[in-house]
Chains A and B, each alone.
Chain A
Amino acid sequence: MTTTVYVPRDASASSLGADAVAKAIETEAAARKLDVQLVRNGSRGLYWLEPMVEVDIGGRRVAYGPVQAGDVSALFDADFLRGGEDVLALGPTEDIPWLKSQQRLTFARVGIVDPRSLDDYRARGGYLGLQAALKMTSAQIVQAVTDSGLRGRGGAAFPAGIKWKTCLEAVAEQKYIVCNADEGDSGTFADRMVMEGDPFVLIEGMTIAGLAVGASRGYIYLRIEYPLAQRALQAAIEAATAAGYLGDDVCGSGKAFHLEVRMAAGAYICGEETSLLESLEGKRGQVRFKPPLPAIQGLFGKPTVINNVVTLATVPIILERGATFYRDYGSGRSRGTIPLQLAGNVKRPGLVERAFGLTLRELVEDCGGGTASGRPVRAVQVGGPLGAYIPASQLDTPIDYEAFAAIGGMVGHGGVVVFDDSVDMAAQARFAMEFCAIESCGKCTPCRIGSTRGVEVIDRMLAGDADQRERDEVLLRDLCQTMVAGSLCALGGMAPFPVLSALDHFHEDFEGEARRIAQ
């Protein structure tokens, strides 16, 4: 009898030795003459347990982890192929509380399916969303996305349906669907997990978007740092094309949709939508003025829907289950679920997809189990390098776009980076400005010059006496205001948020003499 064993091919799992584990399992099974079928799945997102090996026992999956190549022989000795007890045994995967408490809609198949198998995708509900969409008019598809309340998961949280409607109503011979897969924010890896673990869902979402707005061509703009995602997407595009899900005649509908992956080249700013379009056109990734909106004049001057990976990957389930099903999750004006990414100094890092409305404390303490170092949590940065540092006193804020905006923060792409009490917040503030200076596209002055001046002012504050520091703080706050109000895009416009939040909540870290005495 063949036993199916799952070892993730996910980049993070591989970075911890999953490839060696897979090889060891194959070797050991051959030596013991056991019939094992190895599937390289995506990650379930329990990264402190990766590489996590799963065994299919009568249709139920049992987990072991974290497994290293050296543990494999002992696992066979413990008869793990029949669910045998071992120190690494975690029990049935679905019963692990961390996973059980989640509501996985976008991530329903990630870590479960074989990302290289179209059959597996279809066997688990894949392409039902497209089937539903093929029976609808363009306007009905757009209406369903609008009614679902889905907002851009890339960070800006703009209602996807409104963007699609604008593009649908624009008249042009050629329109485009562009997927922003330039996931550059520190603390984020949800896009990567989708692309590596369930690439067909992104392809399906983009195809539906193409039908909705009348676009026959799509591009996935993928960051160069994700070589495994590139391979997974390319294999999936080939399979989908061969099966008639992509090409000149999508599922016999008479409508064309062609999809291509384009590699980025390491510029953070290209995650900004207009800069990304410039880059796709083969230019420097410099931000464009808006208007015109990309939905009206986007790629190559044509109407373009540009959405993040998670946004597009959420579209199939909305079409499959209906707008109401999705909208019933969430809180306030933040509807549906959000894949949160727990990272940094946290005991149990990973992917937590939950309905909007859980608090940051529930996420960090209950899911995350506190810091990895065991020290108290001092600050949590939410929303990437442009997100505010949230002090421990505000951990009870619910994760919802409006609730975060109310405390001067942002949910962004859902990255959550935890810091313990050894963090130097003045250094973090300086880094925010330094990062902005390195990654600024240079088009507008507040960002290009402001960020460099920001680093200099913070350096002077940290070196100066109390009087100097007070004068420089006025200057720094003024500079931040100029950047926020005067920058062309979110890079210069939001880089001040981590700086201001550090000043507001962790002022003691900027007090030079205190720092010198402490040293």
Chain B
Amino acid sequence: MKPAKNIAQLPPIDDALRDAVLHVTARLKDQPGALLPVLHGIQEAVGYVPEVAVPLIAREMNLSRADVHGVVSFYHFFRTRPAGRRVLYLCRAESCQAMGAAKLEQHVKQRLGVDFHQTTADGAYTLEPVYCLGNCACSPALMIDDELKGRVTPESFDAWLATEKT
């Protein structure tokens, strides 16, 4: 079966995006409970799960659009808009709070000029809150993409930011 048939019934979608989605669904959709692996696959390939792709995902998975939208919107990790080039996950949970996470949070927000869930104007960084990175013995913690940092201070954050800019 060709995965691209009946495409005319769907809202218009960019060719590259359609190919990317179909590539992922063809590979993963037949396993039991496939929707989360599929969404992870799309977010990894495209960088986010575009709303315009939802009807196509739904058709390929034999689900309703509401089902897919409901899952995408339920989980904090899935994003429906592009992120910055790097995503910063700053821990807000208790262990980090005990080690000055609130102060660090203020500093990072001020430094980047964004609030949580926002991307800097130059498209470089997206800031997301996270509730525990499992790095509680080295609080406060920050994860940059999938690189974990421990015992982060406003100073060490600035030092990291400076190396990024050079």
Which of A264, A349, A417, A441 has a CB less than 8 Å from the CB of B94? A417
Interface residues of A in 46-92 (CB under 8 A from B): 47-48, 50
Taking A265-B77, A423-B98 as contacts, is the C-beta distance between A349 and B70 under 8 angstroms?
no
**A189 touching B76, Cβ below 8 Å:** no
**A415 touching B75, Cβ below 8 Å:** no
**A284 touching B94, Cβ below 8 Å:** no
Bound CA span A266–B148, Å:
16
Binary flags per residue of B75-93, CB closer than 8 Å to A gives 1, else 0: 1111000000000010001
Bound CA span A31–B142, Å:
34
Binary flags per residue of B48-83, CB closer than 8 Å to A gives 1, else 0: 000000000000000000010011001111100000
Q: Does B112 contact A (CB under 8 A)?
A: no
**B94 touching A16, Cβ below 8 Å:** no
Q: Does B18 contact A (CB under 8 A)?
A: no
Q: Does A263 contact B (CB under 8 A)?
A: yes
Name the residue of chain A whose CB is nearest to the CB of B39: A265
Which stretch of B6-14, B19-27, B28-36 is in the interface?
B28-36
Bound CA span A344–B99, Å:
6
Interface residues of B in 132-164 (CB under 8 A from A): 132-139, 141, 143, 146, 148-151
Bound CA span A45–B136, Å:
12
**A343 touching B139, Cβ below 8 Å:** yes
The interface residues of chain B lying within 8 Å CB-to-CB of A268 are 131
The interface residues of chain B lying within 8 Å CB-to-CB of A435 are 93, 131
Which stretch of A105-113, A274-282, A320-328 is in the interface?
A274-282
Which of A186, A266, A349 has a CB less than 8 Å from the CB of B138? A349
Bound CA span A267–B93, Å:
14
**A417 touching B36, Cβ below 8 Å:** no
**A189 touching B77, Cβ below 8 Å:** no
**B143 touching A341, Cβ below 8 Å:** no
Distance to closest chain B CB from A96 (angstroms): 16
Name the residue of chain B whose CB is nearest to the CB of A423: B98
Which of B32, B136, B139 has a CB less than 8 Å from the CB of A415? B136
Bound CA span A435–B36, Å:
24
Taking A266-B77, A282-B36, A343-B139 as contacts, is the C-beta distance between A417 and B133 under 8 angstroms?
no
**A417 touching B39, Cβ below 8 Å:** no
Q: Does A307 contact B (CB under 8 A)?
A: no
Which of B33, B70, B76, B141 has a CB less than 8 Å from the CB of A267? B76
**A344 touching B148, Cβ below 8 Å:** no
Name the residue of chain B whose CB is nearest to the CB of A387: B94
The interface residues of chain A lying within 8 Å CB-to-CB of B123 are none
**B131 touching A189, Cβ below 8 Å:** no
**B98 touching A344, Cβ below 8 Å:** yes
The interface residues of chain A lying within 8 Å CB-to-CB of B95 are 186-187, 343-344, 415, 417
Which of B70, B74, B78, B94 has a CB less than 8 Å from the CB of A187? B94
Bound CA span A409–B71, Å:
34
Bound CA span A420–B97, Å:
11
Total interface residues in chain A, CB < 8 Å = 61
The interface residues of chain B lying within 8 Å CB-to-CB of A428 are 94, 97
Bound CA span A385–B92, Å:
11
Which of A343, A419, A431, A441 has a CB less than 8 Å from the CB of B136? A343
Bound CA span A48–B151, Å:
10
**B99 touching A372, Cβ below 8 Å:** yes
Taking A50-B138, A343-B139 as contacts, is the C-beta distance between A227 and B150 under 8 angstroms?
no
Bound CA span A317–B146, Å:
33
**B150 touching A16, Cβ below 8 Å:** yes
Q: Does B114 contact A (CB under 8 A)?
A: no
Q: Does A11 contact B (CB under 8 A)?
A: yes
Taking A263-B40, A265-B78, A431-B97 as contacts, is the C-beta distance between A225 and B132 under 8 angstroms?
yes
Bound CA span A372–B151, Å:
12
Name the residue of chain B whose CB is nearest to the CB of A50: B138
The interface residues of chain B lying within 8 Å CB-to-CB of A183 are 132, 134
**B148 touching A14, Cβ below 8 Å:** yes
Taking A192-B134, A263-B37, A349-B138 as contacts, is the C-beta distance between A225 and B97 under 8 angstroms?
no
Bound CA span A48–B133, Å:
17
Which 7 A-B residue pairings sit nearest by Cβ, starting from the closest? A282-B35, A186-B93, A343-B136, A265-B75, A344-B98, A266-B77, A15-B150
Residues of A within 8 A of B (CB): 11-12, 14-16, 45, 47-48, 50, 183-189, 191-192, 223-227, 262-268, 279-285, 300, 341-345, 349-351, 372, 381, 385, 415, 417-420, 423, 428, 431, 435, 438-439, 441
12 more CB-based (< 8 A) A-B contacts, given A279-B36, A282-B34: A11-B148, A12-B137, A185-B132, A187-B95, A223-B134, A262-B33, A263-B37, A264-B77, A267-B75, A283-B35, A300-B33, A342-B137
Q: List 26 A-B contacts (CB under 8 A).
A: A11-B148, A12-B134, A12-B148, A45-B137, A47-B137, A48-B137, A186-B132, A187-B132, A188-B132, A192-B134, A223-B134, A225-B89, A225-B130, A225-B132, A263-B37, A266-B75, A280-B36, A283-B67, A284-B74, A343-B98, A343-B139, A351-B137, A415-B95, A417-B98, A431-B97, A439-B131
